């Protein structure tokens, strides 16, 4: 795997025209969502948003089943976004989000002893060398462990990203290494990886769309990093992105320790239950679910939908408990849940979390609170379109925000060879 002088910066051919716009693409099981955005020193400007509802045979649990169908949906979204700008400014690259049980993310904590250099202030060059050497070591020696987690051989696993999420100098959290003079440095990193065949599918999609891949990022990680204040060392929280086919979870501890987990239980399961219980087609059931979430159903039908969902909602929150329990080395869970995604609009899920006996099952000190996350809660994301208003707009906006952070701190990031 090729390494670059600054991780995250890839060698690019000389371009005649500066890249003005990019696209972020959230390829969801239920809905394929895209944003047209640009970047500057202050953050991300979102200029247009468009989405297409996916056919039921297109994807399952975050995995592409029918490449042609997903490609046609992606073409439509990309074309709508590209039509919003002059032809000469048409985007040439996109940021892709990945979710589902095939995608794995782990947190890595590294203690780095400076040896004889202790006591001397760290220069820009030394800071970059330290970070590069740590990431190089992960790529060279850690891929076998990553492959083992997926039950694959090393050659069938690809690293999507490695991101430095936090730094410490002799045990004290610092925003940067430069200018500090510690004996020991602490580096907190997040690494995500996926099976090579699935990445090859995304490469094929990219080629067909005539868009290069700027980055592939794990969606719950991007959401957790984009939320305003989440990088502060005093911040801890649990992010839950409820999609059509999966629920993606990210645990943030002290702003720098991030773990992710995904499980195959999303909004489509609730729609199917309504369809079965009320003897309605899938599309009619989906419409009723949406109206139920918005409080627009007649009272008798609302009560019927609520009764039909009760068992599945209980199963969903139990699956959430299992996902949290599977996270590693958690001595105490944060008492704040942050929910986004289209499925998060279902009020029963919030109620289930609030009513669940967390402190009896897992080390929670207090009864958790739940906050619904909307795009205005994201850091340095500026909606110029006026279209970002719902919880399901959070993920594509977070993907754009992640890439802005990559370009602001290139040596904090390694991006896979897409």
CATH number for the domain including 338? 3.30.420
Q: What is the CA radius of gyration of the chain?
A: 22
Q: Is residue 178 part of a domain?
A: no
Q: What is the pLDDT of residue 152?
A: 81
Name which of 190, 237, 253, 217 is nearest 373 in CA terms.
Answer: 237
Q: Which residues have CB under 8 Å from 247's CB, separation 6+?
A: 240, 241, 262, 263, 265, 266, 316, 319, 320, 323, 343
* Residue listed under structure tokens 């590693």: 328
Q: Is residue 361 part of a domain?
A: yes
Q: Is residue 300 part of a domain?
A: yes
Q: What region, left, alpha or beta, does residue 245 occupy, with left being phi > 0 and alpha being psi -120 to 50 degrees?
A: alpha
Q: Is residue 285 part of a domain?
A: yes
Q: Is residue 282 part of a domain?
A: yes
Instruction: Name the residue range of residue 353's domain.
Output: 263-372
Q: What is the pLDDT of residue 12?
A: 45
Name which of 195, 196, 206, 250 is nearest 94 in CA terms.
Answer: 206
Q: Is residue 140 part of a domain?
A: no
Nearest-5° Cα angle at 350, 307 to 44: 135
Q: Is residue 363 part of a domain?
A: yes
Is-above-0.75 flag for pTM? yes
Name which of 339, 340, 343 is nearest 388 in CA terms.
Answer: 340
d(CA 135, CA 317): 36
Written as tens digits, the pLDDT of the chain (418 aa) is 334 444 444 444 444 467 999 999 999 999 999 999 999 999 999 999 999 999 989 998 888 999 999 999 999 999 999 999 999 999 999 999 988 777 888 889 999 999 999 999 999 999 999 999 999 999 988 878 777 877 788 888 899 999 999 999 999 999 999 999 999 999 999 999 988 999 999 999 999 999 999 999 999 999 999 999 998 989 999 999 999 999 999 999 999 899 999 999 999 999 999 999 999 999 999 999 999 999 999 999 999 999 999 999 999 999 999 999 999 889 999 999 999 999 999 999 999 999 999 999 999 989 999 999 999 999 999 999 999 999 999 999 999 999 999 999 999 999 998 8
Q: Is residue 311 part of a domain?
A: yes
Q: What is the pLDDT of residue 143?
A: 77
Q: What is the pLDDT of residue 91?
A: 98
Q: What is the pLDDT of residue 17?
A: 61
Domain count, the chain: 1
d(CA 319, CA 325): 10
Q: What is the pLDDT of residue 100?
A: 73
């Amino acid at each position: 795997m090729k390494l670059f002088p600054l991780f995250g910066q890839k060698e690019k051919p000389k371009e005649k025209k500066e890249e003005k716009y990019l696209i972020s693409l959230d390829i969801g099981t239920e809905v394929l969502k895209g944003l047209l955005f640009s970047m500057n020193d202050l953050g991300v400007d979102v200029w247009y948003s468009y989405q297409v509802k996916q056919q039921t045979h297109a994807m399952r649990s975050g995995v592409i089943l029918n490449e042609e169908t997903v490609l046609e949906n992606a073409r439509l979204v990309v074309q709508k976004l590209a039509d919003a700008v002059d032809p000469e400014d048409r985007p040439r690259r996109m940021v892709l989000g990945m979710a589902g049980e095939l995608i794995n993310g782990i947190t890595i904590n590294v203690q780095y002893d400076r040896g004889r250099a202790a006591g001397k202030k760290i220069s820009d060059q030394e800071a970059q060398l330290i970070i590069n050497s740590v990431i190089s070591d992960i790529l060279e020696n850690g891929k076998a462990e990553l492959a083992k987690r997926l039950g694959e051989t090393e050659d069938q696993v690809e690293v999507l990203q490695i991101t430095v999420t936090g730094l410490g100098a002799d045990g004290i959290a610092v925003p940067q290494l430069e200018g500090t003079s510690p004996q020991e440095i602490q580096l907190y990193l997040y690494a995500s990886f996926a099976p090579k065949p699935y990445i090859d599918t995304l490469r094929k999609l990219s080629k067909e769309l005539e868009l290069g891949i700027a980055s592939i990022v794990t969606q719950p990680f991007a959401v957790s990093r984009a939320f305003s204040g989440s990088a502060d060392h005093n911040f801890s929280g649990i992010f839950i992105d409820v999609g059509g086919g999966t629920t993606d979870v990210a645990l943030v501890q002290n702003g720098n320790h991030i773990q992710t987990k995904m499980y195959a239980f999303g909004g489509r399961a609730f729609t199917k239950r309504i369809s079965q219980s009320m003897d309605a087609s899938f599309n009619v059931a989906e419409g009723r679910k949406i109206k139920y979430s918005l409080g627009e159903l007649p009272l008798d039908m609302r009560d019927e939908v609520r009764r039909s969902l009760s068992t599945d909602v209980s199963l969903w929150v139990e699956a959430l408990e299992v996902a949290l329990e599977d996270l590693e080395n958690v001595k105490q869970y944060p008492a704040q849940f942050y929910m986004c995604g289209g499925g998060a609009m279902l009020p029963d899920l919030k109620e289930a979390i609030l009513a669940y006996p967390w402190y009896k099952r897992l080390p929670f000190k207090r009864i958790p609170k739940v906050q619904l996350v909307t795009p205005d809660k994201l850091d340095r994301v500026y909606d110029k379109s006026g279209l970002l208003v719902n919880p399901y707009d959070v993920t594509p906006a977070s993907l754009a925000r992640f890439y802005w952070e990559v370009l602001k701190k290139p040596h904090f990031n390694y991006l896979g060879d897409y």
